[in-house]
Amino acid sequence: MDIQWYPGHMAKAKRQMIERMKQIDVTIELADSRIPSASRNPLVEEIASGKPRLLILNKVDMADHAATAAWKAYHEEQGLTVHLINSQTGEGTASLAGSVHRLTEQRRKKMEERGFRPHADRALILGIPNVGKSTLINRLAGKKIAKIGDRPGVTTAQQWIKVGKTMELLDTPGILWPKFDSSEVGLMLAATGAIKEELLDFQEMAFFLVKIMLKRYRDQLAERYSLSTLPELLQDDQDQTKIAGLFDEIGRNRGCLMRGGLVDYDRTAEIIVRDYRHQKLGNLTLELPPRPQV
């Protein structure tokens, strides 16, 4: 299934962000710790226009902690300032304003040299749908200002929000990009809830999640669905058959049966995807950082 979702309001939001960049000192890019690369919108390079950037990996409580540490190190090697946070609890958010302030030091010095009093740091916060922008903004502002929802498309307009006396945030709608680089990127975005469910094939998402767990999270998969044995994947044509057989076992163990004892694949798939989204499968990261080139 070729997953693409780029409604008109996203194209409009992109144009508005570019128009606002003259007012912006720092770009805050919010990504999902479970998919630290797939959740980074390539349009940010165009929108940010050379502005200093702070990369925030949110939802660290839902991701594989070792993988998150590896991703942080990888991004820092690329020269980015990286913060790991949980916007729901506030973990890691206290130091964000300080990091933004350090990134604007050069701008403030120039203003002072010209005899001007530096204004509060103005930051544009960017991210894909359902990555937690509104929750983070409310946390930083200390009150409920931005609308929050567990589905994409809740924020539909831009607004300035004061964060103490040192920072102003421009909240923006979550945007995707017109064409994903691969089907896997689309599946990762779909599995984490960045794309409207009406457009999704739950069976394909569930097969994708099971395949990743067979490779890296076997014990968690077996424990959740009471599986006695798990197949080894060999990256060949038989892998799909092996996963389909496991899908049957999960469906039977969960009572997803139709008349005649046939497994209801739609119900089974939805259970797997919902379990993943509600962290019942444990802490999972769906992609790993690139290996160093030797």
Q: Reply yes or no on whether the pLDDT at 155 is more than 80.
A: no
Nearest to 282 by CA among 63, 38, 68, 34: 63
Contact between 4 and 196 under an 8 Å Cβ cutoff? The reply is: no
Q: What is the pLDDT of residue 154?
A: 45
Structural domains in the chain plus CATH codes: 8-171 (3.40.50.300), 201-277 (1.10.1580.10)
The H or E element that residue 204 is part of is: helix 202-216
Nearest to 175 by CA among 46, 86, 277: 46
- Measured distance CA(30)–CA(88) in Å, rounded: 14
Q: What is the pLDDT of residue 153?
A: 45
Encode pLDDT of 225-265 as tens digits: 999 889 888 777 678 888 999 999 999 999 999 988 999 99
Q: Which residues pair with 91 in a beta bridge?
A: 86
Q: Tell me the one-letter amino acid at 189.
A: L
pTM of the full structure: 0.85
Mean pLDDT, range 185-211, rounded to an integer = 88
Q: Reply yes or no on whether the pLDDT at 293 is more than 60.
A: no
- Measured distance CA(287)–CA(38) in Å, rounded: 8
Query: In the chain, at which residue ranges do the beta strands (DSSP E only) sit?
Result: 26-32, 53-58, 81-84, 121-127, 159-163, 167-171
